[in-house]
């Protein structure tokens, strides 16, 4: 469908219902709704609707449905697969949830918080902390991403090994369906076995089945102490072995276990010159780990025992244990600055894959070999979340490669990487989702029976194909 | 559809495919497939199929589908809502999964185990333990219930507050769809955001969308130490307050927190005369709590601090801390014998409800008042899992009530109880599911939009309505 003046009726009706603040049509005002963190930008939408309540979202959707106009639900623009970017044809109405930002209820006794979809993750975390609770979802984008987007993409991040993905952190949802009806599944019950798991179906559906407008989030007790360590290790195999020991010796108190190759530290130091080499000597692999707890537990004894044994057995070569919060923050800065360091290198391949934890080492070795065979001068930066088997196996193209060759070259390397991944039973999208960017690779691996079920679900919820069409599955119109 | 000889063709084909061991038609041989733990028994099936492989399940289903014959998938007969009992009309084929009992793979490094649906939970737990891992699902029925049934019912149990329900313990599934096709979703990935969450939809669908034939289970490190305490408390309010403190002061190491009224201990001592009053004096409410961990953590310091503070503030009146595994087992025996004590009282109302944790105290007080107003001589036994807000609010009828009056009387009390529950935003089924027994109460509370979505999902997966028809939703034929 192309952008046309025939939608004047719809826009007039939306303007009347939402007011000037609620409907943006001026290209300049719309500019910030057109691109995301990854830099994806496809086209101008029909307009940007900014409803302020669930009821307004429902009416906006009802009007679009009546006019046969496609919709792009939008959160905090921190997606990485172009899932929330309006289509190039200009036929979609962006529905931004940013004005739905009320905290509806905090119940610290029930360890729950009920919030509007447009609440910023960081804000939710702060309010939880004020009630002596944690909301454990932890992402680089937490200062701007919104809860509705976290639900729609089943967000992951740094603390998944301890608390799970968004799927494990949501008890109930409120969703505006593609025809504008509201499904109220906002229960605050920790256990509820009534019928089919609709909330679970919306989680991770990337806005293709409806627009999440509210969520009941599960909180945990606020950690009152934590310890952070940066360790140098000889191999990925040693990293995986150490993870197994850490899971066992740190009970359920391990909250992060991040793998980084030496090159990541170098990129971090390039991007943030105030950082100096944390361990003096250079090691091929590093682990950034964190344990945390509330209550009267001695984390030092636990961690020292783990590290001592790790050193005795040669798994750990060296390590720095943060002695203060400031020192811990400095160690985490390597993890964050490394992302900036990668970005400065310009065009590069960013992936988000997962394999069984037991396959991480063999996969990294085999995949690196296969990539370097094809592109001896590229640089591989494979870092990630060991406890989730989730690697960001990224590739920087040769520095002397002409700019216009980089994209096709990196694409060919991705194809090869995914072939190796298939041999390991891996996933081409561990946490970022499918959106548009990963669609071809997703569909190529989808069995006919699963494709039929997925298309059936889409058709059941959205028979007209108006809700975020062309994401996950191809648009059927 | 009534039982008729016109299914001779189907039975012959099944017999040819599955052999004599794989198809039971003799009423005596079928007897043990006709009733469950709750004592529900509806009728004789057409026959009992006992396929031994996923392929045999698929062919059995394909044949039933071709002949238009309804199917009842069946696990370990420990259901409580008649979900796996064949219909009274004799038209259903029971498909027992008991011969699918292979352990397909244990990967202790990935903390996963891949098993056939017919594996007994207890066996899975033992094998996990041999690999220094725990499979944390913990139920009274674990000696007989099967993994497929645990998946189909999204089983809960005693350790949900620490490790979650079955939904949180499954990474991938293999399912035979109602037309006999196999959906292979058996990934062993801890993080995987590819498309719609089909596994999550099958979890808790009570065999109405397909037959689970295999599952990848998530393991955790084996606990190497645990502490069990039985505490006496003055009120349900004190129990909930203590829970909040325990969550905070025991970090994530709290593995059980069970509420029991005094009457539960008395019932346990009636059923098991070798048990003696554990705290000397009698208290109105008791908590049976457990903390567990692996690694070098001092659980005694943690627990003693919690209990000392609990006593100082009057939340805890008295307590017994088990000094050995044998003592801990004896404390747990109260929890188990109490169930036997209830059963000995004959006809009684068994419920499985949940409310927000913050509402437990007010709910118990209000519901008890409302029930005793209607039935001053009944006995209320409200015990449950505090951390899940899950209460088994059970009612023993007056002992002198004529037997034939008990059922209608208890039903009227259940109706009243559920009315109160509605005021608290509670669930009429926290962990047992809907099956047939809870269907009327479930449908009465279902919004039109949710009913339409649920019926749409059922129709999408099972357009002919042959797979466990009449469970959760009414049969549409």
Rounded CA separation B384/B223 (Å):
23
Interval A307-326: pLDDT, tens:
999 999 999 999 999 999 99
Q: Is the pLDDT of residue A335 over 50?
A: yes
Residues 340-359 of A with CB under 8 A from B: 354-359
Q: Is the pLDDT of residue B299 over 70?
A: yes
User: With contact defined as beta carbons under 8 Å apart, do B388 and B359 qualify?
Assistant: no
Interval B225-240: pLDDT, tens:
999 999 999 999 999 9
Q: Is the pLDDT of residue B1 over 90?
A: no
Rounded CA separation A100/A148 (Å):
10
Rounded CA separation A140/A465 (Å):
32
Phi, psi (degrees; rounded to nearest 5) at B228: -125, 135
Most confident of A39-43, B244-248, B336-340: B244-248
Residues 175-204 of A with CB under 8 A from B: 177, 181-185, 187-198, 200-201, 203-204
Are B217 and B146 found together in one domain?
yes
Range of the domain at B415: 353-423
Q: Hey, of A191, A391, A426, A439, which one would you mutate to test binding to chain B, going by the most B CBs within 10 A of its CB? A: A191
Residues 361-390 of B with CB under 8 A from A: 385, 387-390
Interval B400-411: pLDDT, tens:
999 999 999 999
Residue-level pLDDT at B28: 93
Rounded CA separation B308/B314 (Å):
10
**B191 vs A165: CB contact, 8 Å cut-off?**
yes
For helices A236-249 and A360-374, angle between their N-to-C axes, nearest 10 degrees: 160
Residue B246 in any domain: the answer is yes
* Residue A203 CA to its chain's centroid (Å): 13
Interval B351-362: pLDDT, tens:
999 999 999 999
| Structure tokens belonging to residue B123 | 């066996």
Check CB contact of B220 with chain A, cutoff 8 Å: yes
Are A262 and A196 found together in one domain?
no
**B200 vs A197: CB contact, 8 Å cut-off?**
yes
- What are the helix (H) ranges across B139-260? 147-152, 160-163, 166-169, 198-202, 236-249
Residue A217 in any domain: the answer is yes
Residue-level pLDDT at B252: 85
Residue B38 in any domain: the answer is yes
Find the Cα–Cα–Cα–Cα dihedral A432, A434, A435, A437, rounded to 10°.
90
- The CATH number for B234's domain is 3.30.70.2190
Rounded CA separation A398/A419 (Å):
22
Residue-level pLDDT at B6: 66
Residue-level pLDDT at B3: 44
Residue A322 in any domain: the answer is yes
Are A95 and A120 found together in one domain?
no
Of A344, A376, A401, the one marking the end of a domain is: A344
Percent of chain A with pLDDT over 70: 99
Check CB contact of A35 with chain B, cutoff 8 Å: no
Q: Is the pLDDT of residue B180 over 90?
A: yes
CA distance A6 to chain B (A): 32
Helix (H) or strand (E) holding B184: strand B182-185
Rounded CA separation A233/A281 (Å):
12
Q: Hey, of B189, B208, B218, B315, which one would you mutate to test binding to chain A, going by the most A CBs within 10 A of its CB? A: B189
Are A217 and A258 found together in one domain?
no
Are A190 and A243 found together in one domain?
no
What does pLDDT average to over chain B? 95
Check CB contact of A449 with chain B, cutoff 8 Å: yes
| Structure tokens belonging to residue A185 | 């599944």
Residue-level pLDDT at A42: 83
**B193 vs A456: CB contact, 8 Å cut-off?**
no
Are A399 and A440 found together in one domain?
yes
Are A141 and A90 found together in one domain?
no
- A380-389 mean pLDDT: 96
- The CATH number for A59's domain is 3.30.43.10
- B378-387 mean pLDDT: 96
Across A342-351, A397-406, B52-61, B258-267, least confident range: A342-351
Residues 269-328 of B with CB under 8 A from A: 293-298, 301-302, 305-306
Residue-level pLDDT at A295: 86
Across A232-241, A323-332, B120-129, B209-218, least confident range: A323-332
Select the residue of A109, A193, A426 nearest B154 (Cβ to Cβ). A193
User: With contact defined as beta carbons under 8 Å apart, do A202 and A177 qualify?
Assistant: no
| Listed residue (A259, A227, A208, A209) closest to A364, CA to CA | A259
Residue A474 in any domain: the answer is no
B24 pairs with which residues across the strands?
A: B48
CA distance B398 to chain A (A): 30
User: With contact defined as beta carbons under 8 Å apart, do B299 and B293 qualify?
Assistant: yes
Residues 390-419 of B with CB under 8 A from A: 390
Are A370 and A295 found together in one domain?
no
- The CATH number for B357's domain is 3.30.70.2740
Are B236 and B277 found together in one domain?
yes
Residue B445 in any domain: the answer is no
Q: Is A138 left (phi over 0), alpha (psi -120 to 50) or beta?
A: beta
Residue-level pLDDT at A1: 41
Whether the complex's predicted ipTM is more than 0.85 is answered with yes
Q: Is the pLDDT of residue A4 over 80?
A: no
- The CATH number for A133's domain is 3.30.465.10
Residue B370 in any domain: the answer is yes
Rounded CA separation A67/A51 (Å):
18
Q: Quickly tell me which residue has 């997962």 as its tokens.
A: A354
What is A408-438 written as a DSSP string? HHHHHHHHHHHHHHHHTT-BS-SSS--TTTT
Q: Is the pLDDT of residue B430 over 60?
A: yes
Are A306 and A352 found together in one domain?
no
Are B249 and B326 found together in one domain?
yes
Residue A147 in any domain: the answer is yes
Check CB contact of B170 with chain A, cutoff 8 Å: no
Q: Quickly tell me which residue has 């909180």 as its tokens.
A: A219
Of A76, A99, A122, the one marking the end of a domain is: A99
Count of structural domains within chain A: 4
Residue that wins the pLDDT comparison between A48 and A296: A48
Of B221, B240, B268, the one marking the end of a domain is: B221
Are A112 and A55 found together in one domain?
no
Give chain B's largest Cα–Cα span: 74
Check CB contact of B138 with chain A, cutoff 8 Å: no
Cα dihedral across residues A338, A339, A344, A348: positive or negative? positive
Across A273-282, B59-68, B455-464, least confident range: A273-282
């Amino acid at each position: 469908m192309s952008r046309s003046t025939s939608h004047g009726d719809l826009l007039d009706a939306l303007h009347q219902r939402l007011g000037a603040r609620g409907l943006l049509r001026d290209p300049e005002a719309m500019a910030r709704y057109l691109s995301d963190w990854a830099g994806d930008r496809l086209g101008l939408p029909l307009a940007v609707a900014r409803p302020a309540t669930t009821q307004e979202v429902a009416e906006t959707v009802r009007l679009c449905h009546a006019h046969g106009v496609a919709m792009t639900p939008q959160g905090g623009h921190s997606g990485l697969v172009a899932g929330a970017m309006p289509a190039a044809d200009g036929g979609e109405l962006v529905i931004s949830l940013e004005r739905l930002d009320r905290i509806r209820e905090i119940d610290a006794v029930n360890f729950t918080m009920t919030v509007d979809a447009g609440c910023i993750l960081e804000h939710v975390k702060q309010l939880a902390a004020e009630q002596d609770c944690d909301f454990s979802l932890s992402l680089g984008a937490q200062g701007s991403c919104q809860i509705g987007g976290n639900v729609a993409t089943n967000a992951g991040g740094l603390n998944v090994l301890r608390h799970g993905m968004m799927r494990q952190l949501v008890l109930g949802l409120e969703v505006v369906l593609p025809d504008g009806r509201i499904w109220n599944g906002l229960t605050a019950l920790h256990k509820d076995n009534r019928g089919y798991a609709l909330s679970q179906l919306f989680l991770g559906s990337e806005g293709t089945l409806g627009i999440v407008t509210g969520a009941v989030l599960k909180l945990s007790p606020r950690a009152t102490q934590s310890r952070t360590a940066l360790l140098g290790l000889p191999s990925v195999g040693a990293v995986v072995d150490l993870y197994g020991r850490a899971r066992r010796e740190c009970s359920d108190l391990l909250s992060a276990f991040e793998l980084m190759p030496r090159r990541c530290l170098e990129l971090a130091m390039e991007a943030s010159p105030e950082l100096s080499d944390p361990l003096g000597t250079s090691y091929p692999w590093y682990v950034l780990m964190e344990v945390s707890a509330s209550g009267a537990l001695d984390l030092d004894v636990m961690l020292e025992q783990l590290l001592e044994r790790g050193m005795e057995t040669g798994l750990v070569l060296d390590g720095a244990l943060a002695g203060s919060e400031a020192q811990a923050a400095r160690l985490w800065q390597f993890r964050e600055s490394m992302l900036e360091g990668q970005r400065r290198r310009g065009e590069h391949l960013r992936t988000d894959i997962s394999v069984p934890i037991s396959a991480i080492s063999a996969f990294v070795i085999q995949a690196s070999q296969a990539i370097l065979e094809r592109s001896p001068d590229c640089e591989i930066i494979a870092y990630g979340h060991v406890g989730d088997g989730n690697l960001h196996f990224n590739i920087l193209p040769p520095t002397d490669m002409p700019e216009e060759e980089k994209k096709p070259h990196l694409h060919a390397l991705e194809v090869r990487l995914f072939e190796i991944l298939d041999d390991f039973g891996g996933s081409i999208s561990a946490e970022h989702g499918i959106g548009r960017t990963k669609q071809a690779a997703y569909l190529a691996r989808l069995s006919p029976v699963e494709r039929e079920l997925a298309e059936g679900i889409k058709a059941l919820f959205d028979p007209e194909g108006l809700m975020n069409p062309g994401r996950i599955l191809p648009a059927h119109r």
